[in-house]
Amino acid sequence: MVAFGKKLKERQFPEWQKYYMNYKLMKKKVKQYAQQIQVSGQDRRHVLKEFSRMLDTQIEKIVLFVLEQQGVLAGRIDKLGEQRAALEEQPDISQISELREAYREVGRDLLKLLHFVEINATGLRKILKKFDKRCGYRFTDYYVSSRSNHPYSQLQQVFKHVGIGAVVGALSRNLADIQDRQGSYLSIYDQPSVTFKDPVIDTIKAAVDRLTHSTNFLGFLGQHALIIQPEEIPTPQEEQAEEERYHFMSLVLNLANTFLYMVNTYIIVPTADDYSLSLGAAATVCGVIIGSMAVAQVFSSIYFSAWSNKSYFRPLVFSSIVLLLGNTMYALAYDLDSLTVLIAGRLFCGLGSARAVNRRYISDCVPLKIRMQASAAFVSASALGMACGPALAGLLQTNFKIYALTFNQVTLPGWVMSLAWLVYLLWVWISFKEPHRETEDHVVPEEVDAGTTENEGLENGLRQPLILSSEDKKQDEDGDPEYDESEEAPEESRKPATSIASAYRLLTPSVKVQLLIYFMLKYAMEILLSESSVITTYYFNWTTSSVAIFLACLGLTVLPVNIIVGSYISNMFEDRQILLASEIMVCIGIVLSFNISSHYSVPQYICSALITFVFSEVLEGVNLSLLSRVMSSRLARGTYNGGLLSTEAGTLARVVADGTITLAGYLGENKLLNITLLPSLAICIGSIAATLLTYNSLF
């Protein structure tokens, strides 16, 4: 591991050497402050004040230099603009080519400035982390929040990229105007959806994206899937290794697995109560039928996560076989007249949940340049499967027999999914390509399931946040040699969690609150979806087709909602603001769902369900975005990663919700709605209170 101090020296531009953060001096000062506090008991307030001033001085030096260089670049662009105006009067092809190259040279110098900002930002983050660790004080929280929220913030001057954005815009516009536009009078501002392509501009935008927390649609979906980008640009060797591991058809097969599993999950929801009644059980036993898949998934997530450390092909084959068997058992339960076989079939389906493998494949084997698109495709496949499941169930309204086998609306979902998994199994066997691994137990650090490496960042600032989790701050990942004997070695401190217990110990209060919110929203959604058939039949006499259409319409709102939030709302508000507002709206949706009158109307049910479901979707995206930023780096890889913890939280929520439906059913269907909504309301109020308590730590 290369020490960061050495890396800083290697990546410095010699002519700008005096403007870089003095990392070596700052590191020595941190060690000195730690000794003063421990040995002489020096007042911490004095140390914090002195260290704050030193940081302010270093940051001011960086910021003023960046502003100066932005002015130089702006002046060069202005002079080139004068030359372009002269060429418009007397065009000369050779001079136009020279002018285009001159603009590109400005772009290359801008890229150089971006690299300057990036290395200094990394140094600042690491020195704050060192101070917190050695001095035993959460100074980073105070420093970043006080500096970034101040109207004269120098941190914001760098990390908001206002000046840099203006320079990029000027370069893009001028290069686009120079390029042959077939006589069009439109500029890039008249066609914002059309991205101007130039190799220099593309490289600059990629560098800006690394520094800036992305809020576009693809970025939002990528975070929604807990699939993130690495902190630094991969080396050419790493890029070549990624290209060698990548296989397009294997990626498609993982996305298809995600889609089919979501279809499998929701295809039985409209008919689960009817199936339960046909086997002599109460309609509310549908909660057990639906939830048994989630029960098994609690365990399957762990072994699939571990299995993906060694192979992707074998887990996918195993998943297909288990799901084929589980769906066949589900379909046969009707003719066998066995509720036990029915539930066992759903348990087998849950044991075939390979979503951990699907996420892991994208993070490990898809090249960085298309990883965000693959992440967005993962979320889209999940949303599409969620909508197609109930819709497909609505189409399977028939009844016939072949020999002793019955094919009707309750058994056909099982038969259809069995056939689908059989076809998928053959497809995987023929087309999947196992990626090359350097070592058998090698684990790629960018494991997406887990979220990112740090705790809290500047508002809409760095993609790699500045504030770190309390446990993460106990690590020192830069590999610098200056350690006390009592400190962990860098490699040791970077090891992933080896058990659920050790992973839990890495959870900070902010992470625990985000996991609580995730539990709450999954609980509320599961209550809404799983009991929809029973509730609508009892109050409104809806048919299976009506329930299927209703659930399909809810599922179809997922992508439009993510587009609106990812493309617009997240650009207007902070994530924590959207988070709190969404929690409040979910709470309002739950309250509106209660039956408090003698007549429970269809408009009331549909409107309250839409509010609950839509804002739960908004909440899920923002929640996972924040979770990816507040999670320890030790939860970014390995079997017991952050993604596994969030998956377990959501799966447990589904299990508890489905169990609640079945238990509440013993009190009568007339009381089912209100009784199942009470826990949802209580958990939602609790999550809002927890969010308010940790609000200032969510950056």
Residues 25-36 pLDDT 10s:
888 888 888 777
What pLDDT shows up at residue 520?
95
The DSSP string of 591-656 is HHHS--SS---HHHHHHHHHHHHHHHHHHHHHHHHHHHHHS-GGGSSSSS-HHHHHHHHHHHHHHH
Taking each continuous run of H as one helix and of E as one strand, the counts in the chain are 29, 2
Between helix 669-693 and helix 575-593 the angle, nearest 10°, is: 160
Instruction: Label residue 454 by pLDDT band (50, 70, 90).
Output: very low
Residues 567-578 pLDDT 10s:
778 767 878 888
More confident residue, 153 or 183: 153
What pLDDT shows up at residue 590?
96
What pLDDT shows up at residue 683?
96
Lowest pLDDT segment from 344-348, 406-410, 573-577: 573-577
Contact (CB, 8 A) for 273 and 290: no
Instruction: Compute the average pLDDT of residues 437-455.
Output: 40
DSSP tag of 664: H
More confident residue, 335 or 161: 335
Instruction: Compute the average pLDDT of residues 49-68.
Output: 87
What pLDDT shows up at residue 26?
86
Helix (H, G, I), strand (E, B) or coil at 484: coil
What pLDDT shows up at residue 345?
96
Residues 195-228 pLDDT 10s:
445 666 767 666 666 665 444 555 555 555 555 4
What pLDDT shows up at residue 321?
96
Buried b (16+ CB within 10 A) or exposed e, 576-614: bebbbbbbebbbebbbebebeeeebeeebbeebbebbbb
Q: Answer left, alpha or beta for residue 575, where phi above 0 means left and psi between -120 and 50 means alpha.
A: alpha
Tokens of 469: 């989790």
What pLDDT shows up at residue 96?
81
- Whether 361 has a pLDDT exceeding 70, the answer reads yes
Lowest pLDDT segment from 147-161, 203-217, 451-465, 529-543: 451-465
What pLDDT shows up at residue 523?
94
More confident residue, 658 or 438: 658
Residues 275-320 pLDDT 10s:
999 999 998 899 999 999 999 988 888 888 889 888 999 999 999 9
What pLDDT shows up at residue 152?
64
What pLDDT shows up at residue 591?
96
Instruction: Label residue 453 by pLDDT band (50, 70, 90).
Output: very low
What pLDDT shows up at residue 13?
85
Map tokens 């892991």 to a residue: 360
What pLDDT shows up at residue 30?
85
What pLDDT shows up at residue 5?
67
**Average pLDDT, whole number, for the chain?**
78
Quickly count: other Cβ atoms within 10 Å of residue 314's Cβ: 13
Instruction: Compute the average pLDDT of residues 522-530.
Output: 92
What pLDDT shows up at residue 380?
82
What pLDDT shows up at residue 679?
95
Tokens of 98: 């020279």
Tally the C-alpha atoms within 13 A of residue 258's C-alpha that lie toward its C-beta: 26
What pLDDT shows up at residue 574?
77
- Which among 344, 357, 339, 347 is positioned nearest to 295, based on CA atoms? 347
More confident residue, 105 or 566: 105
What pLDDT shows up at residue 503?
75
What pLDDT shows up at residue 46?
78
First to last CA, the chain: 29
Report the DSSP beta bridge partners of residue 401: 406
What pLDDT shows up at residue 217?
52
Tell me the C-alpha distance between 612 and 328, whole Å. Answer: 34
Q: Is 496 exposed, middle or buried (0-12, 13-18, 19+ CB in 10 A)?
A: buried
Lowest pLDDT segment from 12-21, 170-179, 441-450, 633-642: 441-450
Instruction: Compute the average pLDDT of residues 360-369.
Output: 79
- Whether 632 has a pLDDT exceeding 80, the answer reads no
Instruction: Label residue 448 by pLDDT band (50, 70, 90).
Output: very low
Buried b (16+ CB within 10 A) or exposed e, 409-439: bbbbbbbbbbebbbebbeebeeebeebebee
Quickly count: other Cβ atoms within 10 Å of residue 83's Cβ: 14
- Whether 665 has a pLDDT exceeding 60, the answer reads yes
Tell me the C-alpha distance between 227 and 243, whole Å. Answer: 18
Helix (H, G, I), strand (E, B) or coil at 400: strand
What pLDDT shows up at residue 455?
33
Map tokens 């804002």 to a residue: 615
- Whether 450 has a pLDDT exceeding 60, the answer reads no
- Whether 564 has a pLDDT exceeding 50, the answer reads yes
Lowest pLDDT segment from 168-177, 188-197, 409-418: 188-197
Instruction: Label residue 585 by pLDDT band (50, 70, 90).
Output: very high
Lowest pLDDT segment from 253-267, 418-432, 434-448: 434-448
Q: Please report, rounded to a whole number, the percentage of residues in the chain having pLDDT higher than 70.
A: 73
Lowest pLDDT segment from 213-217, 330-334, 470-474: 470-474
More confident residue, 182 or 11: 11
Between helix 286-307 and helix 313-336 the angle, nearest 10°, is: 160
- Whether 181 has a pLDDT exceeding 50, the answer reads no
Tell me the C-alpha distance between 421 and 645, whole Å. Answer: 27
Residues 89-136 pLDDT 10s:
777 777 888 888 888 888 888 888 888 888 888 788 788 878 877 776
Instruction: Label residue 476 by pLDDT band (50, 70, 90).
Output: very low
Lowest pLDDT segment from 147-151, 211-215, 676-680: 211-215
- Whether 491 has a pLDDT exceeding 50, the answer reads no
Tokens of 8: 């800083």
Q: Is 442 exposed, middle or buried (0-12, 13-18, 19+ CB in 10 A)?
A: exposed
Contact (CB, 8 A) for 357 and 254: yes
- Which among 506, 694, 672 is positioned nearest to 583, based on CA atoms? 694
More confident residue, 679 or 46: 679
Instruction: Compute the average pLDDT of residues 46-63.
Output: 85
Map tokens 């399931």 to a residue: 449
More confident residue, 568 or 599: 599
Report the DSSP beta bridge partners of residue 406: 401
Tokens of 659: 């169990």
Instruction: Compute the average pLDDT of residues 4-25.
Output: 80
The residue type of 604 is Q
Instruction: Compute the average pLDDT of residues 381-410.
Output: 90
- Whether 424 has a pLDDT exceeding 80, the answer reads yes
What pLDDT shows up at residue 407?
94
